[in-house]
Amino acid sequence: MTDADFTTDIYYDDDADESLLADVTVAVLGYGSQGHAHAQNLADSGVDVIVGLREDSSTRAAVNEDGLEVATPAEAAAQAEYVSVLVPDTIQPAVFEEIKPHLEDGNTLQFAHGFNIHYNQIAPPENVDVTMIAPKSPGHLVRRNYESGEGTPGLLAVYQDATGEAKPKALAYGKAIGCTRAGVVETTFREETETDLFGEQAVLCGGIAELIKAGYETLVEAGYSPEMAYFECLNEMKLIVDLMYEGGIGAMYDSVSDTAEYGGLTRGRAVVDDHARENMREILAEVQNGEFAREWIAENQANRPVYTQLREAEKAHEVEAVGERLRALFAWAEEPEEESEDDERTRVQAD
């Protein structure tokens, strides 16, 4: 089950007993990126599923079209022994207050991200199991991989084991949505939450976006064409990341030219230097001490003024306009998938 070189346990299909869900109704709250994938995969695995959505949700029609039962979150929780909370982090506390009266002894409260548990925005009753199965990809890939007979790697965590069977039940859930086909890594709510937030802010979303824009701006300011700057600093990012994804950083360097490898090895640390690393440590400290969580919660309570301003400024950056024009010229251009209003915040997680 484990490799001696790893510090955590990794679980596969043979480690999970899906029969633990045989006589259980699972309520999936939310039908966005992760919600629709979990609900459909569970149903295809023979699990009794009910989807919880507010009465005015526009997604209810999609649930019915997919052949699944839909009810309000409270009604769904009342019918279920296993409740998977897959609505956005920002509305989870309010939804939890709706379903809390319907949680009974021995029920399972399941999450795909630990934010609200770790930062005490949700205080679960002591008589229920609290677990996490977090697929490490967007929901459409969780669904696509399941349908193709493949799996999506995921994370497993147990925050509260009221029944003594929290972990086996979580593994059964992980198997039913296809994660144990690929492998499920055991972690904790704290570790998943803090590493996820740090990764998003310092590397996956914030760090990469700022690096791309800085490179683009440097080339354009030096007189190079916006089109060339876009290709070199943004378009080719996918090619490099794909190589890293497939075989690691070493495999990426094996695949590029010797010139590119030497340039990267000798100049990369001049950009991401000790000052950048110190900034990363500060970002991590703000995640660990709860400063970021408090800031984000307050931002939502104030109706997101800073978030909205920064988001609009990002969309207005020149690299976005140049990229939109260029992408429209190529055959591989595709329309982006529209997100449901009930969509869970996806991790490239990032996903």
- Cβ contact 243:252 at 8 Å: yes
- Cβ contact 220:318 at 8 Å: yes
Q: What are phi and psi of 31, to 5 degrees?
A: -135, 40
How distant, in Å, are the alpha carbons of 10, 11, 72, 274, 338 from that of 20? 20, 16, 25, 50, 35
Task: Give the span between the Cα atoms of 34 and 346, in whole angstroms.
Answer: 8
* Eight-state DSSP code of residue 174: H
Count Cα neighbours of 194 within 13 Å in the Cβ-side half-sphere.
Answer: 19
| Run of H or E including 226 | helix 226-230
Please indicate whether residue 118 is annotated as part of the active site.
Answer: no
Q: What are phi and psi of 154, to 5 degrees?
A: -145, 175
The single-letter code of the amino acid at 190 is R
Per annotation, catalytic residue among 36, 38, 102, 113: 113
The single-letter code of the amino acid at 67 is G
* Eight-state DSSP code of residue 338: P
List the catalytic residues: 113
